[in-house]
C-alpha cells in the first residue's frame, strides 16, 4: 500500500486532522442506484452527495440481491468508517464524465439520527441537474482518515473542504490517476 500523510488546519478540539493517502488493494469497484439521503449534504453543509443505495434490508439474506448490490452491502459492512478517495461516474445520467470523488462512509457521528452505515460520495464536479435513481459507478482508490464527530458545524465544513482538496490531490498520483479510464466506466 502507498501512504502519504498530511495534517491540515481543520481540527477536532485542538488536534489537527491527520490525513493519509492509503491506497486500497484491491480497489473496490461499486455500482449502485443514487438515492435520497438525509438532505444535509447540499442544504445544510453545501456539499451535494450522491448517496449510494445500500440494501441493509437484505443484510440477513444477501443471496437475494443482485451481484452489484451484494458488493455494495459487503463494502459497507466491512470497510472502516471514514473518508475515502476515488473516481465516480453517473453511468446512466446525461453527464457521463468520470470525476474525482471524496467519499464519506459511516454513521455521520456529528449527527445522531443515522441508523445504518451510509456511502456518500461527494463528486468533485458541478452537475447541471440531479440524478436520483441513476446508476453510480465508483472505484474506491484509498482511505484518508477515520470518521470524526465535530462539535461545531464550521469545523465540519472546513474539514469537508480540506478532504475534497486532499482527495483531489491523491487522485493525481500515478497509482490512481489512470483509473479514470478504467473499464468500469466504459461498459
| Residue 147 annotated among the catalytic residues of the structure | no
Residue 175 grid coordinates: 497509482
Looking only at the bridges linking them, the beta strands covering 15-20 and 98-106 are unpaired
| Residue in this structure with the C-alpha cell 435520497, named with its chain if needed | 36
Report the candidate in 29, 77, 26 with the shortest Cα–Cα distance to residue 54.
77
Of the residues 18, 68, 120, 162, only one is catalytic, namely: 120
Q: How far lies 55's CA from each of 37, 49, 62, 122, in Å?
A: 14, 18, 9, 20
The residue count for the chain: 187
C-alpha cell of residue 69: 448490490
Q: What phi-psi label fits residue 133: left (phi over 0), alpha (psi between -120 and 50 degrees) or beta? A: left
Cβ-Cβ contacts under 8 Å for 53 (sequence gap 6 or more):
32, 33, 34, 35, 69, 72
Rounded alpha-carbon distances, angstroms, from residue 23 to 28, 96, 99, 163? 11, 25, 18, 15
Indicate the DSSP class of residue 70.
H
Residues acting as catalytic residues: 120
Amino acid at each position: 500500500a502507498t501512504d502519504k500523510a498530511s495534517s491540515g488546519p481543520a481540527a477536532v478540539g485542538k488536534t489537527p486532522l491527520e490525513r493519509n493517502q492509503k491506497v486500497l488493494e484491491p480497489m473496490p469497484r461499486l455500482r449502485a442506484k443514487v438515492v435520497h439521503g438525509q438532505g444535509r449534504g447540499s442544504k445544510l453543509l453545501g456539499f451535494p452527495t450522491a448517496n449510494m443505495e445500500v440494501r441493509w434490508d437484505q443484510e440477513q439474506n444477501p443471496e437475494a440481491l443482485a451481484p452489484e448490490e451484494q458488493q455494495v452491502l459487503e463494502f459497507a459492512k466491512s470497510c472502516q468508517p471514514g473518508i475515502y478517495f476515488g473516481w465516480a461516474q453517473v453511468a446512466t445520467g446525461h453527464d457521463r464524465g468520470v470525476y474525482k470523488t471524496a467519499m464519506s462512509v459511516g454513521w455521520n457521528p456529528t449527527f445522531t439520527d443515522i441508523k445504518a452505515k451510509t456511502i456518500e460520495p461527494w463528486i468533485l464536479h458541478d452537475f447541471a441537474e440531479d440524478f436520483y435513481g441513476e446508476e453510480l459507478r465508483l472505484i474506491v482508490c484509498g482511505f484518508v482518515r477515520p470518521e470524526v464527530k465535530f462539535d461545531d458545524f464550521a469545523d465540519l465544513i472546513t474539514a469537508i473542504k480540506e478532504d475534497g482538496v486532499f482527495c483531489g490531490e491523491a487522485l493525481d498520483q500515478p497509482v490512481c490517476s489512470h483509473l479514470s479510464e478504467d473499464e468500469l466506466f466504459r461498459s
